[in-house]
Amino acid sequence: VATIRDVARLADVSIATVSRVFNGSTRVSDQTRHHVRSIAARVGYWPNTAARSLTTSRTSTLGVLLPDLYGEFYSEVIRGIDQAARRDGYQILISGSHADTLTLVTAARAMHGLVEGMIIMAPDDGSAAALQEIMESIPAVLLNPPCDNGSCNAISIANYDGAYAITEHLLALGHRRIAMVKGPSGNVDSEERLKGYRAAMLHAGIDPSPDLEFQGDFTEVSGCQAGRAAIQSIPRPTAMVAANDYMAIGLMSALREAGVRIPEEMAVTGFDDIEISQYVNPPLTSVHVDTYELGERAFQRWIQAARSGGPSSPAHEVLPTRLVVRQSCGSKGTR
């Protein structure tokens, strides 16, 4: 736990010189540099990052606030951010469970002084005010923001479009009784996907009915339960749109268990197109979301905003989604 002073004393130079050595300044002779380096190595000295950032007011750290850490979605977002951040010399400070607005704010405050900015995914649509406040004090970009008011720097997924497209695809295949397995209510992605589904149904002249909407929470087990319920309902749907792949996979498992053939007796689709979806049986038709890229782009937007000095420039980027047709929906598929 040596400090800069210890090294300076041992090397018989001033602390300024030691500092220069560790900051790559050229204004130091080769001889002194080597001498200092060797002493530092001997005592195991390394600059204290907290102290350094206090004077420079640069921390090279980015805060990441996520509502949860469960599942491949968050994992990939984090990976995308981390990789991009690393390339620009940033580290990431993660806080991964904000059931509500209060914990969100608490976590954000705990990061004050430690981070140069934040990438935030709000827990639900009730956090708009809190987000606004955070964004006024530090450059931040929002992931799938609840606020459409265009006043913030944000990036989100084309949830509505994706859900619309996949429902439309099923309609084109001749399905009329298309059910939806919803994600948790309050969740932004969840709501948007539901809207897209309903809109496509309406556009085809079918009134969306509560009887066709099953509640889920993005987990496999909830998809499984929704599947069991759907099978019982009369008349039984001929197709089911799950709000994410995990639920679709749970759903398929329930259908298999009940002896319902996929896609002949029930077409199934997912959303997110996680890696595993192409390997399940039958391969899952889904809406591809480049989650890794979402994280990567979020960082890029952030650093751009941060470098331009000002507060977060208000601009809302939407990452497009893409329909991936495989066999679970009953159309020809890719194989």
Using CB under 8 A, list all residues that contact its own copies: 1, 44, 46-54, 59-61, 69-72, 74-75, 78-79, 82-83, 86, 91-97, 107, 109-114, 133, 136-137, 219-220, 224, 246, 249-250, 252-253, 256-257, 275-276, 278-281, 283, 335
* Longest CA–CA separation in the chain, Å: 87
Calculate the alpha carbon distances from 122 to 35, 176, 216 in Å: 51, 35, 20
Minimum distance from residue 94 beta carbon to its own copies (Å)? 5
Q: Choose the contact partner of 111 out of DNA, its own copies, none; CB within 5 to 8 A by kind.
A: its own copies
Minimum distance from residue 203 beta carbon to its own copies (Å)? 32
Q: Choose the contact partner of 93 out of its own copies, DNA, none; CB within 5 to 8 A by kind.
A: its own copies
Comparison of 115 and 201: residue with beta carbon closer to DNA: 115
Helix (H, G, I), strand (E, B) or coil at 197: helix
Side chain identity at residue 237, one-letter code: P
Alpha-carbon gap, residue 64 to 296, rounded angstroms: 13
Restricting to residues 199-258, name those near DNA by CB under 7 A.
Answer: none
Minimum distance from residue 21 beta carbon to DNA (Å)? 8
Comparison of 54 and 69: residue with beta carbon closer to DNA: 54
Should residue 57 be labelled a site residue for DNA when binding is judged by CB under 7 A?
yes
Should residue 44 be labelled a site residue for DNA when binding is judged by CB under 7 A?
no
Comparison of 54 and 318: residue with beta carbon closer to its own copies: 54
Alpha-carbon gap, residue 171 to 204, rounded angstroms: 8
Strand residues in 85-163 grouped as ranges (E): 91-95, 117-121, 140-143, 153-157
Should residue 15 be labelled a site residue for DNA when binding is judged by CB under 7 A?
yes
Minimum distance from residue 31 beta carbon to DNA (Å)? 6
Q: What is the DSSP string of 220-266?
A: HHHHHHHHHHHHHSSSPPSEEEESSHHHHHHHHHHHHHTT--TTTT-
Cis peptide before 235 (omega within 30 of 0): yes
Phi, psi of 284, deg, nearest 5: -90, 125
Should residue 177 be labelled a site residue for DNA when binding is judged by CB under 7 A?
no
Note the residues at the interface with DNA (CB under 7 A). Answer: 1, 3-5, 12-17, 19-20, 22-23, 26-29, 31-33, 45-48, 51-52, 54-57, 113
